[in-house]
Amino acid sequence: MLGFVYLILSILLGFVAVNLFFPQMKFFTETDYNGQRLDLSLCFMILPVSFTFGIIVMNWISYILACMFSHSDVPLFLADEITMVFAIIVIGVGLFIIIRGRIITLRDIFSGVTPEEKFMFAAIAALFAFLIARSFFVSHGQLYVGLTVFSDFTPHVSMIRSFSIGQNFPTQYSLFAGEDVKYHFMFQFLAGNLEFLGMRLDWAFNLPSFLSVMSMFSLLYVLACKITGRRAAGIIACTLLTFRSSFSLFYYIAGLPKGTKIFKTLLDNTEFIGSTQNESWGLWNLNVYINQRHLALGISVMLAIVLIFLPRLYESFERMKEEGGRIRNYFSDSLLCPEGWLPEEILPAVGAGLLLGGLGFFNGAVLLATIIVLFFIAAMSHHRLEFVITAAIAGVLAIIQEKVFVDGSAFSTSFRYGFLSDNGTTSSSIYFLVKLLGFLLPLLIVYFALTDGVRRYIIIATSMLMVFAFTVSMTPDIAVNHKYIMFAVMFFDIFAADALVDMFTHEKYAMRAIAGIILLCMISTGIYDTYIITKRSNAKNSMVNNLDAPLTVWMEENCPKDDIVLTPNYYLSNSSNGSSVLLSGAMLYNAWQYFAWSCGYDTSGRDMIAAEIYSCQSLSKLKELIETAGIDYIVVERANRESLDYELNETIFENNFKVAYTEGADIDKLTVYYAK
């Protein structure tokens, strides 16, 4: 199918781009950052970077062309046709140069994978393929959406269908139609485009999600090995990313009544556990990557760019170390000397800037987080202008995207101290982190005290993400800052893994036993979280909807891409009218408010207008409201009749508006009226 061809072309295009912008990458996994032999397989670096670079470039080309052809009947058809022809030409020329010049061979890429690495990545692949596929799949025309993801999948699936069916160009947020689009939608565009190209909906969303997760783990493994010089540390870091460190399981067990059969209670439980606010959402475990499918791709970009720039930091610290390591040498040997600023290589900085800048509407939070980390790395690094070039290119691209898609600013920044801690004080914030991070926190503190300068500084630089999460809110919902904490923890896991390897290789068996106990305690909550995810993501515990429901098919065939539909506050649920509308890719005036509210939209204003329309007694006033709101269709159904927010005046619609579609009877009757 063309969808698979599109993905393959994306990876190959990314491979060509990687060889153009990062020609030294073929040597990148030979040594660690201290110059010691490492000999990692190049596939762990070049394949995920090729995937992320290629997906971002191909996606943007297709999207921009689709917008240019938005007045045609099928803009994606022309866009994809041109994009794939362009990709084939570039790939052909690029591979010819690479092969003819013997720049890199398949043997260079895939040689050197150890049995331990094969086992680890096979286990990660099996786990995530299982979780991703069980949480979102199609069987016999029915779409199954797991209980752990159905809420966030309301906007995801709606946006995917708005592209694959609704041809949403120029793009509107499908759950708050008629205004700008503040929501980062490019991963959903990718899935929608793949469905348009013939992939079944679940494959179109699941396959790029799976490849993104594998890229994230692969690059984390490389970064851990490069920093620590140990493959074992890379394996443990990936284990800690999979199974989070937390005291939540211990708090949960301690809180059970006396006489409780602990093992049976744990087996029977179906809810996420946790002692911090909103932890019951699955806010910190693997469910985040199953739920927010666009996140892993963004993290892959962050890891790739950190990997590329860290040698500059090591170079700076090595120079200061040679001069005695005194802090005053930072000014003479780095900040005020030419080597501290002049770029050594331009192309990698340009490539990193394009990669990072293209991330803006894939995941804006990761772009911001990467800029924060790069800023603090640059402060102590050599060749700072390379960082400046990357930041400038990324910044320009991000600003262009914001100006095109967003009216005003994409963010509403405010000072919010304390994140989700109990009362927003320093002491409650520290207690929050102790409960949340478990043994990771004391292990990191001890490691910080004992390690050398450059690793200590990397911990400081990445911990700025934690500081940001606890002080700044970019959206109305402070809970979304959990991502910045997760990014910081991902870096912290590397150093915790290094500390554990030191303990495991200690000459005393008692120390090795302690390391084993600590590791088991660290991953126990994460393992239990994963057990809960598997229980809640299956055919039995899923929201099930017919992809070919009559209402869905009617809306696909009869609602033009720019038409706005007024509905009750819809979200995905079992065989509901709302799901049928959402799956059609229709533009909704005001769906379930949380999704649009958390993006910064004025949902309360539309709530009032919707209530006024549904309860209006005056025909002239009703038509004025409809005209002002730009509504083309109005859905009246059971949810309107039972609403506690207004009293439905159904007669005014029955007597004055033409019926476009109807099904059901009595209280379950659903009618779609032409609003104009």
Q: How confident is the model at residue 230 (pLDDT cuts 50, 70, 90)?
A: very high
List helix spans (H) across 246-294: 248-254, 262-268, 287-291
Helix (H) or strand (E) holding 669: none
Rounded to whole angstroms, the Cα distance separating 469 from 477 reads: 12
What is residue 414's three-state secondary structure? strand
**Most confident of the following: 204-213, 267-276, 583-592, 599-608:** 204-213
| Average pLDDT score, the chain | 92
Residue 329: per-residue pLDDT: 66
> Could you tell me if 187 and 180 are in contact, meaning their C-beta atoms sit under 8 angstroms apart?
no
Mean pLDDT value across residues 599-612: 91
Nearest to 629, CA basis, from 675, 561, 597? 675
- What are the DSSP calls for 480-544, one per residue? GGHHHHHHHHHHHHHHHHHHHHHHHT-SSHHHHHHHHHHHHHHHHHHHHHHHHHHHHSSSTTEEE
| pLDDT for 327 beyond 60 | no
**Tokens 């996994």 found at:** 29
Percent of the chain surpassing pLDDT 70: 97
CB 248 within 8 A of CB 275: yes
Q: Which pLDDT does position 334 carry in this prediction?
A: 66
The pLDDT tens digits for 478-514 are 888 999 999 999 999 999 999 999 999 999 999 999 9
Give yes or no for a contact between 180 and 406, defined as CB atoms under 8 angstroms apart: yes
What pLDDT does 409 receive? 63
Q: Please give the pLDDT value at position 33.
A: 96
pTM, entire model: 0.94
pLDDT of amino acid 259: 85
CA angle 556, 562, 567 (to 5 degrees): 70
pLDDT band at 341 (very low <50, low <70, confident <90, very high): confident
Residue-by-residue DSSP string for 207-247: HHHHHHHHHHHHHHHHHHHHHHS-HHHHHHHHHHHHS---S
Tokens of 277: 């606010």
Element (H, E) at 676: none
Specify the pLDDT at position 653.
Answer: 95
In sequence order, the β-bridge partners of residue 542 are 146
Per-residue pLDDT tens for 27-81? 999 999 999 999 999 999 999 999 999 999 999 999 999 999 998 989 999 999 9
Alpha helices in 43-164 (DSSP H): 43-68, 75-100, 106-110, 115-135, 150-164
Where residue 406 falls among pLDDT bands split at 50, 70, 90? confident
Whether pLDDT at 159 is above 90: yes
State residue 64's pLDDT score. Answer: 96
Q: Does residue 357 carry a pLDDT above 60?
A: yes
